[in-house]
Amino acid sequence: MILTVLIFCLVLGSVVGFLAGLLGIGGGLIIVPALVYLLPLVGVSSDIVMPVALGTSLGAIVITSASAAFAHHRKNNIPWSLARPLMILIAIGALLGAFIADSLSSEVLARFFSVVVVLLAVYMLLSINASKERSLPATYVLPSLSFFTGVIASLMGIAGGAILVPMLSFFGVSVRHSIGIATACGVMVALFGSIGYIITGFHLTNLPEWSFGYIYLPALLGIVMSSIIFAPIGVKYASQLPVKTLKKIFAVFLILVAIKMMFS
């Protein structure tokens, strides 16, 4: 059964990697729902399936986000003077989010995930053609928002780019820099969120074999191996396909997935 999970996650990772490269989004928004349906095959009980899915998703995102952040740094897409303070607070928020998730039931986490995904997808649909010029807010606003983004992203098992990119763009940061900052912050969300999920799940005895806290290693390995290969392919096709149309389709897909999770 572990081999089945590994093979499935190789396929999952290829889809995640391709969409991440193509659209700049994806990751945990796809990994988490897929793992929620996959993990029971290896004996993960319904009581802990959601935190295991969230922890495993963040573990996979550590590798993919670090690779993407390095690429953005080489292209000077990350204004570090703005990114550094956001990274610190988003890391603290992500660690806190993991401990909050440990205190919530899988049902509550699934409903929270579903509601936020629907909101993000709707915003994605409405903002595709939006272009507004604004200046950066007061000094404390962005750090405060980044802290809460870290909490929410950790509770959802995502890197936070789907929240940070529109937020930074809203405040007048260029799209290129918004994506670069979000990628760097995503490394911190995934790293500190993963640490939190390892700590909170380490004492449990009802986890499947080959688990490290709430992180299920065979799934992590499969996702990482293939996503690293397919992400550059997605980047290649990003300039050749109608990305706005694809984003609309992807947003609708997210809404359908969220609704199914909400009522299942």
Place of tokens 């990697």: 17
Q: What is the DSSP letter of 171?
A: T
Residue 204: half-sphere exposure toward Cβ, Cα within 13 Å: 23
pLDDT in tens, the chain (264 residues): 778 888 999 999 998 888 776 766 667 888 999 999 889 988 888 889 999 999 999 999 888 788 778 888 888 889 999 999 999 999 999 999 999 999 999 889 988 999 998 888 888 787 766 655 566 666 678 889 999 999 999 999 988 888 888 888 778 888 788 888 988 998 999 999 999 999 999 988 889 889 999 999 999 999 999 988 887 787 677 667 776 777 777 788 788 878 877 776
